[in-house]
Amino acid sequence: MKFTLPLVSFIKHLSQVSGVAGAPGGKDDITQNVLISIKNNELTFKCTVYSIEMSVVIPGVADVESEGATTVNAAKLRDSCKNLDQSALVTFDYDESNEILLVSSGTAQFQIRTRNVLEFPTFEHEDVEQRIVLKQNQLKAIIDKSIFCISNEDFREYLKGMRFEVDGENVSVFTSDGHRMAVIETTLDAPISQPLGSNLTRRCAAELTKILKDSDEPVELAFTKNSVSTSCNGYTLTSKLLICGYPNVRAVIPKSIDVSVEVPRAELKNAISRVNVLSSKRVNAVNLVFADDRLNLKTENSEHEVATESLNISYNLNPIDMSLNAGYVTEVLNAISTDNVRFCFANPIVSTLIEPCSNDYEYGVRTRYIISRVVV
């Protein structure tokens, strides 16, 4: 295997695909490698860690002396190439007898140990049971506006993923860590005939959003019994699903709202940032009091240090006093793009629902967030 191509034409794709490879620094695992193959003037990179696989095809490689395939440590190859002159040519020359990949560009040369392609794991592919098609910017918005609510550590398996539910044309997506929840709703242009309920892993969602464009070009998600896959923009991503039950989280969404208050989003975000300097690091709580056309913010720590701030709002009903995790509120405010946000309350007040103050949903995606109050 020997071929030459412009470095700039592949380094971005290699970096993207290698994000799926096994973490470097551990044992010498084949999942740390990227499979490289050249055939019919098409260069393919593929990485897998058994639960997720990503590949990319780069067409039009003109200078191919010989075809073939091998695997090489993805991080070493990426790091060897990223500091080279990005406008230069790079040559890959596989010495099969010595199990070495020679990478050369200008006066720089790297000899990287390879492993046989027969050692590279294969991903089990199943028959597709359901397909849904969304716009790329629509799916990207769904993920970006909800992924931060997924739990990183919770022992409850269902909290480690993103719940997709589709009924006809209606799509509902839920993420939660047990203290907050994102509720995302949108519609399909082409309804499906049978209801769908699947749990995407956090890693699948994170890698998927990286390969999507901010465009209205279509992207298909193909669901099997145990996995989901998609192909877009030259990439193919396949991931195992979380196979677990999912609770009826719709019961957490208030059926009716007793009180709602509009708050300027950027002003609130900046105010929280200021007072959070003196918050208790254990609970990271900010106290919010809605009363007399003011929103009063307060934080206090174990050393009895206090920070306060106040915003003008339009609210003169019974005072509402509650504490929320400052980080959770800030992440919600970052995910919303409207000038104002609406805090909604239902009695008894054990949480708040935060949503944009607009029915003109970005990319046709409606977002709502529920945050439980903090007891301090």
Domain locations in the chain?
Answer: 2-119, 130-251, 254-372
CATH topology (fold) of 130-251: DNA Polymerase III; Chain A, domain 2 (3.10.150)
Q: In b/e form, how buried is each residue of 181-201, taking b as 16+ CB within 10 angstroms?
A: bbbbbbebeeebeeebebbbb
List the CATH code of the domain at 2-119: 3.10.150.10
Nearest residue to 233 via CA among 205, 209, 200 = 209
Both tokens assigned to 279: 């918050």
Q: pTM of the predicted model, to two decimals?
A: 0.94
Q: Do domains 2-119 and 254-372 have the same CATH topology?
A: yes
CATH topology of domain 254-372: DNA Polymerase III; Chain A, domain 2 (3.10.150)
What pLDDT was estimated at residue 375?
86
pLDDT by 10s per residue, the chain, length 376: 999 999 998 899 999 999 999 887 666 689 999 999 999 999 999 999 989 999 999 999 999 999 999 999 999 999 999 989 989 999 999 999 999 999 999 999 999 999 999 999 988 888 999 999 999 999 999 999 999 999 988 788 999 999 999 999 999 999 999 999 999 999 999 999 999 999 999 999 999 999 999 999 999 999 999 999 999 999 999 999 999 988 899 999 999 999 999 999 999 999 999 999 999 988 999 999 999 999 999 999 999 999 999 999 999 999 999 999 999 999 999 999 999 999 999 999 999 999 999 888 999 999 999 999 998 7
Helix/strand/coil percent split, the chain, to 5: 20, 45, 35
Return the axis-axis angle of helices 202-211 and 136-144, rounded to nearest 10°: 140
What stretch of H or E contains 210?
Answer: helix 202-211
pLDDT at 26: 60
Cα 184–chain centre separation: 14
CB 43 within 8 A of CB 61: yes
- The tokens of 186 are what? 């949108």
pLDDT at 20: 93
Distances (CA, A) of 40 to 6, 32, 67, 155, 294: 18, 26, 8, 47, 68
179's CB contacts (< 8 A; 6+ apart) are: 325, 328, 371, 372
* pLDDT the model gives residue 25: 65
Residue 117 near residue 71 (C-beta atoms within 8 A): yes
